[in-house]
Amino acid sequence: MKYSISTFEREKLEFLYHQSPKKAKRTDVFAPIKSIWQQVVNYLNAKNELQVWQSSDRNGRTWWNAYDPITGRTTKRDSESEMRTWIEERYYQ
């Protein structure tokens, strides 16, 4: 099956193909400073976030752990649903 395009569509495609590339945007002089500042903000936010992880022993028993860096408290729950309940009760009161 052959595909054909109209003369108008062909001229339009050729026009788009032969257009000169757009000029590159002027670089932001403050981009490196903004990048460093964003990294600092991300680091400070990450320090205060609740950390949750799963662990298991050699017998295959698993549990969920959480550490709250703001209060310095840790907790351990037997299931993911128990951990979710603990988080919701603690942080979404």
Question: Would you write out the chain's pLDDT as a tens digit for each of its 93 residues?
Answer: 455 667 777 777 777 777 666 655 666 788 888 888 888 887 777 777 888 999 988 898 999 999 988 888 899 999 999 999 998 888 776
Q: Which two tokens stand for residue 27?
A: 């670089």
Taking the C-alpha atoms of residue 84 and residue 13, their distance in angstroms, rounded to an integer, is 56
3-state percent helix, strand, coil for the chain, nearest multiple of 5:
45, 20, 35
